[in-house]
Amino acid sequence: MDFLYCAKSNGLTKINNMQKTSIGKYVMILLMFVFTVTTTIAQKFSPSSYIAEHKDLAQQLMNETGVPASVILAVAFHESAYGNSRVAKHLNNHFGIKGKNKSKAIRSAYKGYGSAEESYRDFVGLMQRRKANRVLFDKYDADDYEGWVRGIFKAGYTSLSSWTPKVLATIRRYNLDKYDQIQRPVEKGMLAKSGATKIQQDILLRSMEANDMSVDFTPGVTHVVTKGETLSDLATRYDTSVEALKRRNNLQSSKLSMGQRLLL
């Protein structure tokens, strides 16, 4: 009897332990599922949060390349469903550019990137690399977002006729063109070379960064372009070269706009 009782007791204990283990596994799986869903929902962008997250990068790239920030943002917004598409989430691809990827999460013909910034930089790089796109830098100013969008479409970025009106509508709906108004940050090293005292440099820097200057405060630091001026004129006046001016100001062409501020 004792033997049977012990055997029965041991059997019940094993069953209870197995049940506890199974329940523990199910609870763990459920918690992982809830965590995954919660994380996914938390990472979901709204139109405004996507713009807020990427506007600074778009403006930085505009200053570096000349592609309008509004265009960069609108194309990314449209192509990635403001950061919520599967390609944007799994491949960091915000511009619908095709290429190789190493993702095990999804099978896709779209290019994979290590970060959203890499994707953004590849887009403006594409504008600079492709011959059909390079002409846009000479043809359109940085504040002509409509010209840029139509030009990108004509250069073969997509064959969908609805692409242009949708991208333009995005710019207008969210007032993305306001991000095209940023001016290039002032280089403190240039102010130091001007001979101004530290206090003068700080005052000048704050004034220039406020973007409300209409004249040059310190000769030899910056120049505001007036009507009809060319890079050649400025190179002669300030004893430098056209290429040096283009390099210092990250200019892709020699075309200048009235009111444009150049570092000398």
Percent of the chain with pLDDT over 90: 43
Backbone angles phi, psi at 261, to 5 degrees: -100, 130
CATH number at residue 201: 3.10.350.10
Tokens of 49: 């949060």
CATH number at residue 54: 1.10.530.10
Residue 225: what pLDDT? Answer: 80
Residue 211: what pLDDT? Answer: 42
Cβ atoms of 111 and 122 within 8 Å: the answer is yes
CA distance 159 to 139: 22
What total of structural domains would you count in the chain? 3
Residue 178: what pLDDT? Answer: 93
Residue range 30-58, pLDDT digits in tens: 655 544 444 444 468 899 999 999 999 99
Same domain, 55 and 160: yes
Cβ atoms of 191 and 208 within 8 Å: the answer is no
Please compute the mean of the pLDDT values over residues 140-163 and round it to a whole number. Answer: 94
How confident is residue 90, by pLDDT bands cut at 50, 70 and 90? Answer: very high
| Bigger pLDDT: 6 vs 130 | 130
Cβ atoms of 67 and 148 within 8 Å: the answer is yes
Residue 221: what pLDDT? Answer: 58
Same domain, 106 and 141: yes
Position 64: which residue type? E
Same domain, 177 and 53: yes
Same domain, 114 and 140: yes
Same domain, 110 and 10: no
Same domain, 26 and 55: no
Please compute the mean of the pLDDT values over residues 154-169 and round it to a whole number. Answer: 95
Q: Domain boundary residue among 155, 181, 207? A: 181
Give Cα 29 distance to the centre of its chain. 37
| Bigger pLDDT: 211 vs 245 | 245
Residue range of the domain that includes 206: 188-263
Residue range 109-147, pLDDT digits in tens: 899 999 999 999 999 999 999 999 999 998 998 889 999
Same domain, 54 and 174: yes
